[in-house]
Chain A
Amino acid sequence: MKTFARYAFPMLLILSMLLSACGTANTQAPVVETAAVAQPTAEAQKPQDTQACGVVELQYWNPFTGPDGPFMGEMVEAFNASHPDIKVTMTSQGEYYTQLATAAAADTLPDVAILHADQVATHAFRNMLRPMDDLVAEMGISGSDYPAGVWNAGEVAGRRYSIPLDIHPMTAFYNADLLKAAGFDAPPKTAEEFEAIAAAITSGDNKGFDITGGFPVQQIFQQMLHQFGGSEFNADGTEATWNSEAGIKALQWMKDVQSKYSEPNLEVDAELNAFKTGTVGMVWNGIWQTTNVTGSGVEFDGRAAAVPQIGPQMAVWAGSHQFTLPVHKKVDPCKDRAAAIFIKYMVENSVTWAKAGQIPASNSVRASAEFKAIEPQATIASSVEYAFFPPSVPGITDAYGPLGEAVGAVMNGTAPDIKAALDDAARRANEILAQNRATYGSAPKQP
């Protein structure tokens, strides 16, 4: 028994530590920290109104841990170089919203943070963001420089909580070599063209259009729903309405193209991996996949274009990164002013950000010659006019949960009845929306 004890007790100890560690620690994605160093240049700067504050240090957090991170880092460095009295330190991290929520509990939120448009209302209601109406007026930023949808996403209960940086729309990626071989020179713009191209390419091992049963099918459904004239929720975000006639048409269309042109039962990202092997004509995914599946990312002529109009009206699913001012127990006016200067600079210079594969949200930046030279972003940019965003009510992303499950189940073939699946998802979403209303109330607590 002695030998056993000698082995077993240390093992038990380690076991218990590792078991408890697996419960939480391993869920943390690696933290990528990109510290941009201030590089004051020799050029004399025009005096800033931050002069009385001395050098202001700003913490800036974002979720850009992917290949887009370095582009953002470049912009921050350029800002620091041109603003000697403001020093911005950027931190990009995974498990982003968990990080924000824990930082909020410890009052260590950054001075500026990027949030996705659909998260703004939730975080405003959870006392993590400050309204910035006054600051926005001071900055001279106005809604007229943005598409209405993306601008409205930053308004919660009548107050402004965020400034849009970019719009990242659903994008149609296509294998130009396969299209050419099938006799087509350009990507489809209409339902007929789409069907013709997909049908011509689908033969043997080649597939015309791959669509998965995971991300982003829910987003593709939302897009088709809007194209067929429907909407996910009623105007005030109290009721799910995706089980409409339009919703059934949308999902039926997806199911049809899946059975005709796609491999069945693909999981998340499988359509991209298949596309990269050169056997798939078209896939739809977020614009952030551009460098992954076009240009030097693939061995064929992979290209990106705006998604076609399948239904009677044009609509494009999109997300948006937005600048916000997180809550602090003690608000420092110097930091707020510096943050305003920083946000304005980042928005006005978002052309660099476009190179990371995003479409600048600001109309004037999109109209600039500099942006128009960036392909394929410039070609896709026309579609952001048709981008729609969820109503800004707290917890709205939770209400999308049942929709994602229903669409996934229909695409994977586990739910054969489209109408029943959408009805059931709507019933469950309504229950979640009611729970959210009871939990969050009608307006955020004013700081």
Chain B
Amino acid sequence: MSVSRLNLRKISPVPYLFILPHLIFFAVFIGYPFFNGLYISFFQYDYLRPEATTFVGLQNYTDLFRAGSVKFVEFWNSVRVTLTFVIYSVPFLVVIPLCLAVLLNSKLRGMNFFRTIYFAPWVLSCAVISLIWWWIFQSQGGLLNYYLKLLGLDTPRWLSTMPYAMISIVVATVWWTMGSNMVIFLAALQDIPAELHEAAQIDGANAWQTFTRVTIPLLRPVMVFIIITTIIASFNLLGQPMMMTRGAPAQPTGGGATEPVMLRIFTEGFVRPFQGSAAAMSVIVAIMMMTFSAVNFRIFRQRD
């Protein structure tokens, strides 16, 4: 009797009911598309031409690893662009918000005003900020080059030459998304008990020592969280280059110098109607991101 009652309690439906609303959305909008994407990556597939669907096995994948082919060059070029963007953007998106959060954590008048100001860009949509920065960076009559010229400085073609095109995208992105990381840091900073700082001061620590020896170690869990989410967010880069540079400048060997992998997948699947091959690209990118996250978790967990 007692054993069966235990079993019954084990499969009690109540917890599942609690997660059901999310589970439904997850299944419909993430679970099903994920497995369907995996499935169609083995086909030559265009949803508008069901009669042309043919099973091609691993061909969509092998195409991406056939050195010298168009898909190979374009895909790996875009992966490289995305990784470059991650490397350039993530440090800024961690350090700048951290500095801002520390500054804004003081108890001066008007701090809420500044918090709002720094957070404000984050509420704008990708299209809006891309357009704003396009206007600032564009080379003829753009705000930045106008002032650079007034100061007698060089006026690079920000959106059509490298490395300026990538710099433009990184700057726009940092300005746009630093607010969200800042707020998280700020919340974490306010969680650090004031006694710890007081104790450090009594022990003779100066401000810098307090920061590096007390504040930073206590921010570690939040730091891990922010680094991981920022890497994932940066990996998903799409809108800014799509609207600011359209992938320009073109690479002589194929692809664009600022064409991220998400834009490549979009083009492959919707501009060229090769959804099977686009799905294969997505799977490869997903594997890369999962590996990345797993490594991240491992590194930070070991140190804890």
B83 on the interface (CB 8 Å rule)? no
Given contacts A4-B188, A4-B222, contact A265 B161 (CB under 8 A): yes
Contact status A415-B252, CB under 8 Å:
yes
A235 on the interface (CB 8 Å rule)? no
Closest to B255 in A: A405
B210 on the interface (CB 8 Å rule)? no
Kindly state the separation between the CA atoms of A404 and B247 in the bound complex, as whole angstroms.
12
Contact of A412 among B130, B160, B238 (CB under 8 A): B160
Contact of A8 among B122, B184, B249, B250 (CB under 8 A): B184
Contact status A414-B191, CB under 8 Å:
no
Q: Which residues on B sit within 8 Å (CB–CB) of A445?
A: 49, 51
Q: Which residues on B sit within 8 Å (CB–CB) of A22?
A: 126, 236, 238-239
Q: Which residues on A sit within 8 Å (CB–CB) of B225?
A: 8
Kindly state the separation between the CA atoms of A398 and B186 in the bound complex, as whole angstroms.
48
CB distance from B270 to the nearest CB of A (A): 6
Q: Which residues on A sit within 8 Å (CB–CB) of B73?
A: 428
Interface residues of B in 169-194 (CB under 8 A from A): 180, 183-184, 186-188, 190-191
CB distance from B199 to the nearest CB of A (A): 19
Closest to A421 in B: B252
Q: Which residues on B sit within 8 Å (CB–CB) of A432?
A: 70
Interface residues of A in 54-99 (CB under 8 A from B): 97-98
Q: Which residues on B sit within 8 Å (CB–CB) of A424?
A: 252-253
Contact status A15-B180, CB under 8 Å:
yes
Kindly state the separation between the CA atoms of A29 and B141 in the bound complex, as whole angstroms.
24
Closest to A265 in B: B157
Kindly state the separation between the CA atoms of A74 and B86 in the bound complex, as whole angstroms.
49
CB distance from B304 to the nearest CB of A (A): 16
Contact status B183-A98, CB under 8 Å:
no
CB distance from A198 to the nearest CB of B (A): 19
Contact status A266-B139, CB under 8 Å:
yes
Contact status B49-A428, CB under 8 Å:
no
Kindly state the separation between the CA atoms of A97 and B274 in the bound complex, as whole angstroms.
15
Closest to B225 in A: A8
Contact status B161-A105, CB under 8 Å:
no
Kindly state the separation between the CA atoms of A262 and B165 in the bound complex, as whole angstroms.
21
Contact status A23-B252, CB under 8 Å:
no
Q: Which residues on A sit within 8 Å (CB–CB) of B232?
A: 19
B138 on the interface (CB 8 Å rule)? yes
Q: Which residues on A sit within 8 Å (CB–CB) of B246?
A: 214, 268
Contact status B236-A23, CB under 8 Å:
yes
Contact status B236-A405, CB under 8 Å:
no
Q: Which residues on B sit within 8 Å (CB–CB) of A428?
A: 70, 73, 254
A27 on the interface (CB 8 Å rule)? yes
Please encode chain A, from 267 to 307, with 1 for each CB lying within 8 Å of some chain B CB and 0 for all others: 11110011001000000000000000000000000000000
Given contacts A267-B157, A273-B141, contact A26 B127 (CB under 8 A): yes
Contact status B52-A441, CB under 8 Å:
yes
Contact of B139 among A7, A11, A270 (CB under 8 A): A270
Contact status B141-A277, CB under 8 Å:
yes
Given contacts A22-B126, A26-B127, A445-B49, contact A268 B239 (CB under 8 A): no
Kindly state the separation between the CA atoms of A415 and B183 in the bound complex, as whole angstroms.
45
Q: Which of A1, A23, A267 has the most CB of B within 10 A?
A: A267
A169 on the interface (CB 8 Å rule)? no
Q: Which residues on A sit within 8 Å (CB–CB) of B188?
A: 4, 8
Kindly state the separation between the CA atoms of A7 and B252 in the bound complex, as whole angstroms.
48
B248 on the interface (CB 8 Å rule)? yes
Contact status B238-A273, CB under 8 Å:
no
Q: Which of B52, B122, B130, B236 has the most CB of A within 10 A?
A: B52
Q: Which residues on B sit within 8 Å (CB–CB) of A126?
A: 46, 48-49, 273
Please encode chain A, from 84 to 127, with 1 for each CB lying within 8 Å of some chain B CB and 0 for all others: 00000000000001100100110000000000000000100111
Closest to B127 in A: A26
Given contacts A19-B233, A266-B160, contact A1 B248 (CB under 8 A): no
Interface residues of A in 1-47 (CB under 8 A from B): 1-4, 6-8, 11, 15, 18-19, 22-23, 25-27, 29
Q: Which residues on B sit within 8 Å (CB–CB) of A187?
A: none
Contact of B140 among A11, A270, A398 (CB under 8 A): A270
Q: Which residues on A sit within 8 Å (CB–CB) of B186?
A: 7
A213 on the interface (CB 8 Å rule)? yes
Kindly state the separation between the CA atoms of A66 and B6 in the bound complex, as whole angstroms.
68
Contact status A4-B187, CB under 8 Å:
yes
Kindly state the separation between the CA atoms of A410 and B225 in the bound complex, as whole angstroms.
44
A431 on the interface (CB 8 Å rule)? yes
Contact of A27 among B70, B183, B191, B266 (CB under 8 A): B266
Contact of A23 among B51, B127, B157, B238 (CB under 8 A): B238
Q: Which residues on A sit within 8 Å (CB–CB) of B187?
A: 3-4, 6-8, 11
Please encode chain B, from 124 to 150, with 1 for each CB lying within 8 Å of some chain A CB and 0 for all others: 011100100000001111000000000
Q: Which residues on A sit within 8 Å (CB–CB) of B273?
A: 101, 122, 126, 439
CB distance from B183 to the nearest CB of A (A): 6
B47 on the interface (CB 8 Å rule)? yes
Contact of B49 among A2, A127, A402 (CB under 8 A): A127
Interface residues of B in 38-59 (CB under 8 A from A): 44, 46-49, 51-52
Q: Which residues on B sit within 8 Å (CB–CB) of A412?
A: 160-161, 249-250
Chain A to chain B contacts (Cβ below 8 Å), 13 pairs: A19-B232, A26-B239, A27-B266, A126-B49, A212-B160, A213-B250, A214-B160, A273-B141, A274-B140, A405-B252, A405-B254, A428-B70, A432-B70
Chain B interface residues toward A at CB < 8 A: 44, 46-49, 51-52, 69-70, 73, 122, 125-127, 130, 138-141, 157, 159-161, 180, 183-184, 186-188, 190-191, 222, 225, 229, 232-233, 236, 238-239, 242, 245-246, 248-256, 262, 266, 270-274
What are the 8 closest A-B residue pairs judged by CB atoms, nearest first? Answer: A267-B160, A7-B187, A273-B140, A26-B126, A415-B252, A409-B252, A408-B250, A405-B250
A409-B251, A414-B249, A421-B252 known; 17 new pairs, CB 8 Å cut-off, are A8-B187, A8-B225, A11-B180, A11-B183, A22-B236, A101-B48, A126-B46, A128-B48, A214-B249, A267-B159, A270-B139, A395-B272, A402-B254, A406-B250, A408-B248, A424-B252, A445-B49
Chain A interface residues toward B at CB < 8 A: 1-4, 6-8, 11, 15, 18-19, 22-23, 25-27, 29, 97-98, 101, 104-105, 122, 125-128, 212-214, 265-270, 273-274, 277, 395, 398, 402, 404-406, 408-410, 412, 414-415, 421, 424, 428, 431-432, 435, 439-441, 445
